[in-house]
Amino acid sequence: MLTLASNLDRTARLFGDRTATLDPDGRFSWAEFADRARRCAGMLRELGLTPGDRFGVICRNSFRNAELMHGGYWAGLVPVPVNYRLAPPEIAYILDNAECRLVVLEEPFAALTTAADLAPWADRVLLMTQTQYEERLGAVKATPMHEAAETDDALLVYTGGTTGRAKGVRLTHGNIMLNALQIAFVAKPRADDLFLHVAPMFHSADLLATSWVMAGAAHLYMPEFTGRAALQAIQEHRVTCSMLTPTMIIMMLQEPDFSSYDLSSLRQVIYGSSPMAAEWIQRSLERLPGVEFIQAYGLTETAPLLTMLEMADHEKAMCSGDHAILKSVGRPLPGVDMRIVDGNDRELPPGKAGEVIVRAPNVAKGYLKRPEATAEAFRRGWFYTGDIGRMDERGNLYLLDRKKDLIITGGELVYSLEVESALYENPKVQECAVVGIPDDAYGEALLAAIVPAPGEPLTPEELIEHCRGRIGGYKIPRRFIFLDALPKSAMNKVLKHELRRMYSQPTSAEETT
């Protein structure tokens, strides 16, 4: 069966003696990790949880967090990983919406137990210190594996809620396991790999590592990401693979002593979650020679990936000097049927922009208790991603914008990613984001938020001149703001709704920047 519990069982049988996890507290083989996960399942069952029940997990990245998740799968439970950076009312909403029977809380977040919004959960919180966890684990017996079906819910992951209340995405065992096979077809994980977990485990991006569990690889967990800590981990532990966001890669490259680290063990970086400028991709390839770079695109609802841009495409771009392909997120994974459609659901030919829709075995069941949102996004067997893109003749997908981020200025449609790509061609621009803000004359005006490269002063006039000849005049931002950092989510996605909220005062037709 393609379930997460049977996957762990298989890995423990085939790779039992190989290292599963590395941690300052110790090293566990796959046989030992599986035994601990089985006992974790027993602990959860002793606390009164039965198959199908959901339980919240508010923990940082760690091997114990991984054990809790796998223990839940083994017992037939549904873990609900919660973003610990949310405010107490937001956490309370998720726990209530998911009807969690229990909340496992890591010690650093103990203050949440006194939050008024979480008072109703006081008798259902299991506060776990390292000592308490190990004592509980040592006091219980392993429980037999629950025979789940591939169509059973395995995980409930809440989206960021940028357009309202967060939505709980129902991912099945089959969704996650089939996507692991799809990813493995391209990434080719190996038993001798060491996968560094830097994506927060409450985010669906961490599910990518399921392919490396399947392969019997070792895993190292970073509680919090910094560029320096990631470089140190790669050097000290001989990390071979990781999934990184563009921001993380840039932070690592900008470490003053980057060149002093021995990164020779690193063989593969999968990057995604937000757009990465072609200039930064080129810089990454130059500074990390020999590392295989794979760009990935997906959503929480796709468990998590849909497309991958392989290293061969990166190499072709570098050798030819034509970097256009680097703006693509690659081709659909095996089993992913992808189309570009217009507002009337008519399929569009290559080169034409429209909404990206997909049907695939890794597409989620829908949203928990959100029938209207489910009906809107999951229609006639297709999932409507809300992303606007186009495909070329070879099936490469180019993302242009989120549907909700499209800008209409003076009757003209503008894709923010197109403007951002032009801005990124200026080496003085480290990061940028373009949004539409209310404008009395044009309906919307383009505002560009810019993070200049360190020590590189920039002016609006310089950027306007830079954009001329690269994009149409109506696409050139009329306002520029310069920031130390862009507002971002836990996965380093730019929160454009925050920029719109902060700078949404209407401008007059005469205003220029």
pLDDT at 280: 87
- Tokens 């989120």 belong to residue: 402
* In the predicted structure, residue 513 carries a pLDDT above the cut 80: no
Q: Say which DSSP state 402 is in.
A: E
Tokens of 195: 């996968």
Are 143 and 71 spatial neighbours (Cβ–Cβ below 8 Å)?
Answer: no
- pLDDT for 76-132, tens place per residue? 999 999 999 888 999 999 999 999 999 999 999 999 988 999 999 989 999 988 899
Closest CA relative to residue 503, chosen from 478, 474, 467, 475? 478
Count how many residues are written for the chain.
513
Closest CA relative to residue 117, chosen from 100, 103, 96? 96
In sequence order, the 6+-apart residues with CB closer than 8 A to the CB of 304 are 179, 204, 205, 207, 208, 298
Are 73 and 8 spatial neighbours (Cβ–Cβ below 8 Å)?
Answer: yes
Q: Is the dihedral of CA 396, 401, 406, 409 positive or negative?
A: negative
pLDDT at 63: 96
What is the C-alpha to C-alpha distance for residues 348 and 498, in angstroms, rounded to an integer? 32
161 compared with 475, residue with greater pLDDT: 475
Closest CA relative to residue 223, chosen from 417, 45, 59, 56? 59
Fold of 406-502: GMP Synthetase; Chain A, domain 3 (3.30.300)
Evaluate whether 4-327 and 406-502 have a shared fold. no
Task: Give the pLDDT band of residue 20 (cuts 50, 70, 90).
Answer: very high
- pLDDT for 162-220, tens place per residue? 456 899 999 999 999 999 999 999 999 999 999 999 999 999 999 999 999 999 999 99
Closest CA relative to residue 465, chosen from 457, 454, 473, 456? 473
Mean pLDDT for all residues in the chain: 94
53 compared with 439, residue with greater pLDDT: 53
Instruction: Name the 3-class secondary structure at 213.
Output: helix
- pLDDT for 423-455, tens place per residue? 999 999 999 999 999 988 888 999 999 999 999
With a pLDDT cut of 70, the percent of the chain lying above it is 97
pLDDT at 278: 82
Task: Give the pLDDT band of residue 24 (cuts 50, 70, 90).
Answer: confident
pTM above 0.85, yes or no: yes
User: How, if at all, do strands 194-197 and 218-221 pair?
Assistant: parallel
| Residue 314 burial by Cβ neighbours in a 10 Å radius (0-12, 13-18, 19+) | buried
Q: Is the dihedral of CA 102, 107, 108, 109 positive or negative?
A: positive
At residue 222's C-alpha, the angle toward residues 220 and 228, to 5°, is 115
Query: CA of 402: how far to CAs of 41, 75, 103, 387, 494, in Å?
Result: 40, 38, 34, 4, 12
pLDDT at 151: 98
What is the C-alpha to C-alpha distance for residues 261 and 235, in angstroms, rounded to an integer? 6
Q: Which of 9-23, 66-80, 143-157, 270-284 is predicted least confidently?
A: 270-284
Are 189 and 211 spatial neighbours (Cβ–Cβ below 8 Å)?
Answer: yes
With a pLDDT cut of 90, the percent of the chain lying above it is 84
List % helix, strand, coil for the chain (3-state, nearest 5). Answer: 35, 25, 35
Instruction: Name the 3-class secondary structure at 151.
Output: coil
Closest CA relative to residue 453, chosen from 490, 424, 492? 424
- CA 232 from centroid of its chain's CA atoms: 23
Instruction: Name the 3-class secondary structure at 55.
Output: strand
Tokens of 235: 């050097």
Are 79 and 125 spatial neighbours (Cβ–Cβ below 8 Å)?
Answer: no
Closest CA relative to residue 429, chosen from 408, 450, 409, 445? 450
Task: Give the pLDDT band of residue 161 (cuts 50, 70, 90).
Answer: low
**435, amino acid identity:** V
pLDDT at 411: 85
Mean pLDDT to the nearest integer, 320-333: 92
In sequence order, the 6+-apart residues with CB closer than 8 A to the CB of 317 are 278, 323, 324, 325, 326
Query: CA of 297: how far to CAs of 308, 344, 389, in Å?
Result: 7, 25, 12
pLDDT at 512: 39
Sorted by where each begins, the domain ranges of the chain are 4-327, 406-502
User: Domain 4-327: what homologous superfamily?
Assistant: ANL, N-terminal domain (3.40.50.12780)
pLDDT at 506: 53
